């Protein structure tokens, strides 16, 4: 997009279609809202690394639009055609990291993003999808702004009028997601684990050795390891996150066997070396075939790692029970032992994230054990052909 120099001189709003990494970084530094200002440099660094990686791929369809008024940045948006992203099995353009200080600015940004989508034969555009999504998440927050930032959960300025602007521009709320703080330490059904199911903890090396089995299991339910992930395999990214955990965290503060007399839990703890396991991944196996049939991935709060704080918070990111193994107490048992094991390593806060409110089974299972503390909506628009 060509900058109109006369508009610049007249102090009118104009757009730049930028591929200049320094310019993009400068724009983000000026307009990106981050609730914890100490984390802003890291978050910008991650966004820039992602954009630079996509710019380096020939023919990858991505745009970054920056709105200026004179020399001041007044808006920002990124849009792309992510090859792995679909909505209900339909390909869609995505809109992310949207910031605009006025309706006029927002309209200019959205018009540019929609034109880009049409040029790529997209009939749908959705946002916010903030890539890299494991950092920026999905949806625009509308509730829970007082909550502390948690890695993998979206964030945006509570004073922003973006949702109001999107509605005026023909967008509608399409998908509602919530986060839930787990407030119940013990779930009743967790005391009724099927006799053919055992729980076991694996070492980091074991998780890599059994990668194909675990990836296959999760891949049958999700596109990738993370719910609503955008194609590709995130398993090894998660393994890298685990590897970044300080060694001091891997030493339990006390013996969890002293906290429960449930035989299945005692068996799980006694079957492993508690100083060598990955204490964030809780797995259920069949006793006869040793097949993985249930799993909970808890992601350590990377923000605490970056701030050099002890890890006390986790994102309960992926929960899965294999088809045919429901109603065997697996989910509740993994939750119960997961909290007890996490507590032994100093974890005191558990938040289930990215819970899709249309998923009635998940909502019915989880909500009685906690409170909804954040709410997000993904907005979308069906695109008409250019006139």
Tell me how many degrees the CA angle 288-279-152 measures, rounded to the nearest 5: 115
Strands 281-286 and 292-300: antiparallel
**Tell me, what's the pLDDT at 223?**
41
pLDDT band at 186 (very low <50, low <70, confident <90, very high): confident
Each residue of 130-151: pLDDT tens digit?
A: 999 889 989 999 999 999 999 9
**Tell me, what's the pLDDT at 134?**
85
Q: Which two tokens stand for residue 131?
A: 């890539």
Cβ pair 179, 373 in contact under 8 A: yes
pLDDT band at 221 (very low <50, low <70, confident <90, very high): low
Largest CA distance in the chain: 76
Position 344 pLDDT exceeds 90: yes
pLDDT band at 212 (very low <50, low <70, confident <90, very high): very high
Q: Which two tokens stand for residue 107?
A: 């309209």
Give the mean pLDDT of 367-386: 88
Q: Which helix (H) or strand (E) is 49 found in, with range?
A: helix 40-55
Contacts of residue 99, defined as CB under 8 A and 6 or more positions apart, other chains included, come to: 31, 32, 33, 75, 76, 77, 157, 160, 162
Determine the topology of domain 188-374 in CATH: Aminopeptidase (3.40.630)
**Mean pLDDT, rounded, of the chain:** 90
Position 229 pLDDT exceeds 60: no
Domain 5-170 - what CATH class?
A: alpha beta
Each residue of 257-306: pLDDT tens digit?
A: 999 999 999 999 999 999 999 999 999 999 999 999 999 999 999 999 99
SS3 50: helix
Domain residue limits, the chain: 5-170, 188-374
Among residues 334, 317, 327, which one has the least CA distance to residue 361? 327
**Tell me, what's the pLDDT at 7?**
55
DSSP assignment letter at 241: H
Q: Which helix (H) or strand (E) is 97 found in, with range?
A: strand 93-100
Each residue of 51-81: pLDDT tens digit?
A: 999 999 999 999 999 999 999 999 999 999 9
Give the mean pLDDT of 148-176: 95
Phi, psi of 116 (to 5 degrees): -60, -45
Distance (Å, rounded) from C-alpha 98 to C-alpha 234?
25
Give the mean pLDDT of 224-250: 73
């Amino acid at each position: 997009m060509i900058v109109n120099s006369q508009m610049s001189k007249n102090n009118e709003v104009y757009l730049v279609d930028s591929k200049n990494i320094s310019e993009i970084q400068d724009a983000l530094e000026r307009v990106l809202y981050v609730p914890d200002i100490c984390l802003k440099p890291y978050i910008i660094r991650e966004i820039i690394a992602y954009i630079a990686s996509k710019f380096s791929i020939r023919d990858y369809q991505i745009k970054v639009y920056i709105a200026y008024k004179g020399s001041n940045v007044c808006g920002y948006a990124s849009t792309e055609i992510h090859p792995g992203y679909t909505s209900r099995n339909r390909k869609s353009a995505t809109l992310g990291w949207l910031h605009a200080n006025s309706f006029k600015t927002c309209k200019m940004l959205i018009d540019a993003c929609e034109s880009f989508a049409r040029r790529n034969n997209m009939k749908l555009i959705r946002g916010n999808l903030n890539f890299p999504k494991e950092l920026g998440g999905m949806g625009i927050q509308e509730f829970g702004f007082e909550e502390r930032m948690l890695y993998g959960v979206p964030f945006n300025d509570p004073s922003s009028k973006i949702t109001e602007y999107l509605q005026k521009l023909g967008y509608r709320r399409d998908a509602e997601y919530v986060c839930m703080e787990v407030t119940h330490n013990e779930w009743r059904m967790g005391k009724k684990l099927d006799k053919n199911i055992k729980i076991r903890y694996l070492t980091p090396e074991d998780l890599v050795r059994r990668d194909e089995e675990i990836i296959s299991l999760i891949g049958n339910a999700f596109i990738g390891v993370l719910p609503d992930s955008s194609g590709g395999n995130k398993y090894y990214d998660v393994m890298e996150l685990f590897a970044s955990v300080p060694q001091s965290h891997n030493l339990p503060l006390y013996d969890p066997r002293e906290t429960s007399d449930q035989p299945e839990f005692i068996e799980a703890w006694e079957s492993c070396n508690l100083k060598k396991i990955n204490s964030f991944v809780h797995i259920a196996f069949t006793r006869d075939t040793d097949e993985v049939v249930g799993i909970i991935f808890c992601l350590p709060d990377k923000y605490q790692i970056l701030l050099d704080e002890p890890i006390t918070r986790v994102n309960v990111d992926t929960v899965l029970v294999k088809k045919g193994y429901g109603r065997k107490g697996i989910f509740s048992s993994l939750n119960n032992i997961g909290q007890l094991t996490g507590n032994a390593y100093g974890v005191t806060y558990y938040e289930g994230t990215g819970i899709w409110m249309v998923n009635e089974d998940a909502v019915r299972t989880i909500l009685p054990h906690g409170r909804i503390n954040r709410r997000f909506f993904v907005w979308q628009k069906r695109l008409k052909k250019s006139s």
